Amino acid sequence: MFFSRLFKRFFPVDRRSSPRGEAGPVRSVRTEAAVAPPPSPFLPLSALHDGMAPPPAATAPAGPRFSRSVHGLLPAQQDRVRPVLHEGFTPTQPIRHALFLAGRARELERAIEAIEYQNAHLVIFGERGRGKTSFANVLVQLAASAGYGVVQHACHAEASFDHLFSAIIGKVRSRYLRRAAERFAAGDLTADPSGLGQHSRLGASEVTEILGGITTGRLLIVIDEFDRIRSETIKNEFVELLKNLSDLGARVTFVVVGVAQTLTELLALHLSIQRNLVTIHLPLLDDRDIEALIRRGAETAGLEFLPEASELVVQFAKRSPHFAQLLCHHGARTGMRRGSTRIERRHIIEGLLTIVEEAKFVHDDAYRRALGGDDVATADLLFATAQCRTDDVGQFTATSVAEVCRAISTNGTADPAAALHRLTLPEGGGILKCLPDIPEPRYSFIDPTLRFYVLLRQASARGLI
Ligand SMILES: Nc1ncnc2c1ncn2[C@@H]1O[C@H](COP(=O)(O)OP(=O)(O)OP(=O)(O)O)[C@@H](O)[C@H]1O
Ligand SMILES: [Mg+2]
């Protein structure tokens, strides 16, 4: 189908069978030149819409100033640093175009298959900053190009079901709601789809009538930040709606997006809805995807990342797209400030140190408590915890921490499991959470930024950066 063909155009080569790769522990920072990079999994930038990749400008201005007016780049103020980086690396913005989405081919393929062939609703979940909104944006882009009607909505904590769906239906183009409007005019519906929020109260059955009445086209409705909804009543009503629409074979697919470790954290789950849902837990990227992200960003920004600079980003990003974007952004900014479009290892290091400085206010207290006194074994354990091998969702075991401890430390840690347990308690900074599992518990950082912070602080304290 057309949706699938579009997908293949944007994600041509990422059907690999090899396991997800990961850089090894940061023991020392290597500087030897890397082998030639693999071919880019992206389309050439020329495929991008005009104007999205501004050329690097020539001269740096004196003193701080805005580089673009709200209407675009100011010719008189062409700052050679910021406008270019703005497009190349986006640490504060979700990806909005398939050309910039690294990896995710498998997950997009699964999502498209679920929408096209299974007529299922989708739930996309994962850790904060994992790339959920970026993924949903690209799915929406591909769907819109394939002729789907699309609606994107971000939840607010205080939303009632009525508020939530008044806002969502208010974003649906009127041609989809024509039949519901006719039925309302004929007195068959209690809710007027064109006057929602004023005099209608929407429950699951009213929304079923409105959306279930769509007779032409197909509609994709993305609800982002669903984790902000705490009310079980809203969740229950929403699940009822999903079930109703599935039973009707409606022309509407919901894509629910939110921060969660498990599906049940996000949605009140009834057995009856499970077969109508496809869940996609977004994994970390693999190292090759991070390399591709760097190449694409550099290409867009008109920069060259030297192999040892890219290698350092891969080592420290630890498969996180967000931290890769952040490191590249700061490294590139440093390089360009120094008048270079060739980004070197030292530029990335300077960027790393800036990130540490800026994050101190947020994370230093927890970090200090985790570190306790000046105990070398605890410091080694922290360093090992921040860089040990994780599974695809960022969880690890005491065994994998102990492996890294043995590689970086001569002291060793007598009981890594007990030491990790301490890090889950307030006196240990509460930086980890523990998930009971067999044969041994799994751990993860309560916030991915904390892992990154611990890694940078420890690498810096050991003179590795
Ligand atoms: N596949 C990707 N390729 C390149 N960059 C990505 C990718 N996924 C995410 N990013 C980048 O990572 C950062 C976080 O992405 P995004 O906002 O989509 O994550 P999120 O999971 O929605 O975050 P949150 O949990 O805060 O809502 C952004 O800077 C985005 O540009
Ligand atoms: Mg998001």
Query: How many CB atoms sit inside 10 A of residue 332's CB?
Result: 28
What is the CA(321)–ligand 1 centre distance, in A? Answer: 6
Q: Which of 134, 222, 327, 449 to mutate to test the pocket of ligand 1 (most atoms within 8 A of CB)?
A: 134
Percent of the chain clearing pLDDT 70 (strictly above): 78
pLDDT of residue 54: 41
What is the CA(225)–ligand 2 centre distance, in A? Answer: 6
pLDDT of residue 2: 57
What is the CA(128)–ligand 2 centre distance, in A? Answer: 7
Regarding the beta carbon of 104 and ligand 1, being less than 6 Å apart is answered yes
**Is the pLDDT reported for residue 152 higher than 90?**
yes
Regarding the beta carbon of 128 and ligand 1, being less than 6 Å apart is answered yes
Task: Write the pLDDT tens digit of every residue in 422-456.
Answer: 999 999 999 999 998 888 999 999 999 999 999 99
**Is the pLDDT reported for residue 209 higher than 60?**
yes
Which residue's CA is minimally distant from atom 15 of ligand 1? 131
> For residue 200, what pLDDT band results from cuts at 50, 70 and 90?
low
Task: Write the pLDDT tens digit of every residue in 262-278.
Answer: 778 888 666 677 888 99
Q: b/e per residue, 406-436, with b = 16+ CB within 10 A?
A: eebbeeebeebbebbbbbbeeebbebbebee
Question: Contact 112/255 with Cβ under 8 angstroms?
Answer: no
Task: Write the pLDDT tens digit of every residue in 35-93.
Answer: 444 444 444 444 443 333 343 444 444 566 655 555 554 454 445 545 455 678 999 99
> For residue 408, what pLDDT band results from cuts at 50, 70 and 90?
confident
pLDDT of residue 72: 53
Percent of the chain clearing pLDDT 90 (strictly above): 60
Amino acid letter, residue 265 = E
CATH architecture of 104-281: 3-Layer(aba) Sandwich (3.40)
pLDDT of residue 198: 57
Kindly state the average pLDDT of the residues 127-138. Answer: 96
What is the CA(259)–ligand 2 centre distance, in A? Answer: 8
**Residue 102 CA, closest ligand 1 atom number:** 3
What is the CA(132)–ligand 2 centre distance, in A? Answer: 5
**Residue 134 CA, closest ligand 1 atom number:** 18
**Is the pLDDT reported for residue 305 higher than 90?**
yes
79 vs 344, residue with greater confidence: 344
Q: Parse the chain into domains and list their residue ranges.
A: 104-281, 363-461
Q: Calculate the CA dihedral of residues 222, 225, 228, 229 and round it to 10 degrees.
A: 10
What is the CA(449)–ligand 2 centre distance, in A? Answer: 15
Cα distance between residue 332 and residue 372, in whole Å: 35
Regarding the beta carbon of 130 and ligand 1, being less than 6 Å apart is answered yes
Which residue's CA is minimally distant from atom 14 of ligand 1? 129
Cα distance between residue 256 and residue 154, in whole Å: 10
What is the CA(199)–ligand 2 centre distance, in A? Answer: 32
Regarding the beta carbon of 90 and ligand 1, being less than 6 Å apart is answered yes
pLDDT of residue 25: 57
CATH number of 363-461: 1.10.10
> For residue 197, what pLDDT band results from cuts at 50, 70 and 90?
low
What is the CA(131)–ligand 1 centre distance, in A? Answer: 3
Regarding the beta carbon of 448 and ligand 1, being less than 6 Å apart is answered no
pLDDT of residue 98: 92
Regarding the beta carbon of 132 and ligand 1, being less than 6 Å apart is answered yes
Among 52-56, 188-192, 365-369, which is the least confidently predicted range? 52-56
> For residue 179, what pLDDT band results from cuts at 50, 70 and 90?
confident
pLDDT of residue 202: 86
Domains 104-281 and 363-461 share a fold: no
Question: Please, which residues bridge with residue 304 across strands?
Answer: 342
Which residue's CA is minimally distant from atom 11 of ligand 1? 322
Regarding the beta carbon of 320 and ligand 1, being less than 6 Å apart is answered no
73 vs 367, residue with greater confidence: 367
Question: Contact 416/401 with Cβ under 8 angstroms?
Answer: yes
Q: b/e per residue, 287-306, with b = 16+ CB within 10 A?
A: bbbbbbbbbbbbbbbbbebb
Task: Write the pLDDT tens digit of every residue in 324-336.
Answer: 999 999 999 999 9
